[in-house]
Amino acid sequence: MEEKLKIESRLAQIGSQEDPATGAVNFPIYNATAFRHPRLGQSTGFDYIRTKSPTRSVLEEAAAELESGDAGFACSSGMAALQTIFALFGQGDHLVVSLDLYGGTYRLLERILSKFGITASYVDTNDLDALESARRPNTKAVFIETPTNPLMMITDIGAVCTWAKRHELLTIVDNTLLTPFFQRPLELGADIIIHSATKYLGGHNDVLAGLIITKGAELSAEMAILHNSIGAVLSPTDSYQLMRGMKTLALRMERHERNALALAHYLKGHPAVAEVFHPGLPEHPGHEIQNRQSSGNTGIFSFKVKDARYVEPLLRHIRLIAFAESLGGVESLMTYPAVQTHADIPAEIRDAVGVDDRLLRFSVGIEHENDLIADLGNALEAARRELEEGDGDRG
């Protein structure tokens, strides 16, 4: 039997062997929206773009294969992928969801899906007792993010899947932060993976996309119906852009991981910093589980400054690092979750998980680590001077 290629090779070769007509080493963009039928009752496999289109199909097959799933579905954004997944549920259904959740997912559940009679309970999904007490007779699925964004809380995926199977619940995992290069939840028992491919998979802050990967024939067939019926599918051009990004995923993730760890160590030793949340640090409560279920660490982490008054001048003084929302691109970005990505999450939930006004999230890019350390060091020093001068004026 032919041995399966290593993931680095499979990533680099996405779409490379798929166009026998021309031998093109990267799969072309087919912009056609309609496909001729050879004759009545026959199809080339392609009929109408929303249902299936050639460039998107190559991406979807690659995504399914990388995540060890049975089918992949490319969507116009991560939110479109989430909406499509949640359409599996209806009136009266209940979900158990990670407490420290991506703000957009929370908003979708609370503002939109609630109108269709779908309810959710938010719990620490690494606490099996909390999961069990949140479970109701109408619970249909558990939805987890691990690590969470921004606090990097780790959930034991295998343990949750075992619990979920015992109660016939689906396990849905948002694998945006680690990507299949570092973590493959379907191999640990999950049923559905969702990605904001806008982040690491695309990797260059230049394409908006989402992916769904399913395990099992019945679930895959159901998802195909939802994907086609809802219609929030990815365009051929964006499908190509995303595959182009994914070819270098292995190289980028290795550098993101190395840089983020270097910056986490630097900040941990900085006098203006109170706390660093990075699962790669041995003192992180999820460190051991993370090492067991993933082969590496993502490039984002967060940290708390000692005084909230540091935040404004720090964000004003960073130069190389951009003050911008989003994550997972080659360029380093820093965000302020309490007022940006997590503004839609009620203050009680934010406080319960610790997303407060001293917390900053850092998506570490692939620049040289020394340049990033210098930029951050300069900005923290400038912030400290401003605070001191401010205190002096008042005193």
Ligand X SMILES: *Cc1c(COP(=O)(O)O)cnc(C)c1O
Please identify every residue annotated as catalytic.
50, 102, 174, 199
Using CB under 6 A, which of the segments 97-105, 288-296, 304-312, 359-367 binds ligand X?
97-105
Q: Give yes or no for residue 171 binding ligand X (CB under 6 A).
A: no
Q: Give yes or no for residue 102 binding ligand X (CB under 6 A).
A: yes
Residue nearest to ligand X (CB): 78
Q: Give yes or no for residue 188 binding ligand X (CB under 6 A).
A: no
CA atoms of 220 and 343, how far apart (whole Å): 34
Q: Give yes or no for residue 176 binding ligand X (CB under 6 A).
A: yes
From the list 67, 93, 100, 174, which residue makes contact with ligand X (rule: CB under 6 A)?
174
Using CB under 6 A, count the residues that bind ligand X. Answer: 15
Site for ligand X in 6-35 (CB under 6 A): none
Q: Which two tokens stand for residue 68?
A: 């060890």
Count the Cβ atoms, other than its own, within 10 Å of residue 259: 21
User: Is 193 within 8 Å of 143 (Cβ atoms)?
Assistant: no
From the list 54, 185, 210, 299, which residue makes contact with ligand X (rule: CB under 6 A)?
210
Q: Give least dist CB 64 to ligand X, A.
A: 19
User: Is 136 within 8 Å of 94 (Cβ atoms)?
Assistant: yes
Q: Give yes or no for residue 83 binding ligand X (CB under 6 A).
A: no
Q: Give yes or no for residue 104 binding ligand X (CB under 6 A).
A: yes
From the list 52, 199, 255, 317, which residue makes contact with ligand X (rule: CB under 6 A)?
199
In the complex with ligand X, the residue whose CB is nearer, 259 or 363, is 363
Q: Give least dist CB 84 to ligand X, A.
A: 12
From the list 98, 139, 179, 198, which residue makes contact with ligand X (rule: CB under 6 A)?
198
Q: Give yes or no for residue 196 binding ligand X (CB under 6 A).
A: yes
Using CB under 6 A, which of the segments 90-98, 102-110, 162-170, 253-261 binds ligand X?
102-110
In the complex with ligand X, the residue whose CB is nearer, 152 or 273, is 152
Q: Give yes or no for residue 124 binding ligand X (CB under 6 A).
A: no
Sequence letter at residue 169: L
Q: In sequence order, which residues have a C-beta less than 8 Å from that of residue 342 and are 6 or more positions away?
A: 103, 150, 350, 355
Q: Give yes or no for residue 335 binding ligand X (CB under 6 A).
A: no
From the list 77, 171, 302, 363, which residue makes contact with ligand X (rule: CB under 6 A)?
77
From the list 126, 149, 155, 220, which residue makes contact with ligand X (rule: CB under 6 A)?
149
CA atoms of 318 and 321, how far apart (whole Å): 6
In the complex with ligand X, the residue whose CB is nearer, 322 or 380, is 322
Mark 289-327 as b/e (b = at least 16 C-beta within 10 Å). Answer: bbeebbebbbbbbbbbbeeebbbebbbebbebbbeeebb
In the complex with ligand X, the residue whose CB is nearer, 135 or 350, is 350
Query: In the complex, which residues of this chain contact ligand X (CB under 6 A)?
Result: 77-79, 102, 104-105, 145, 149, 174, 176, 196, 198-199, 208, 210
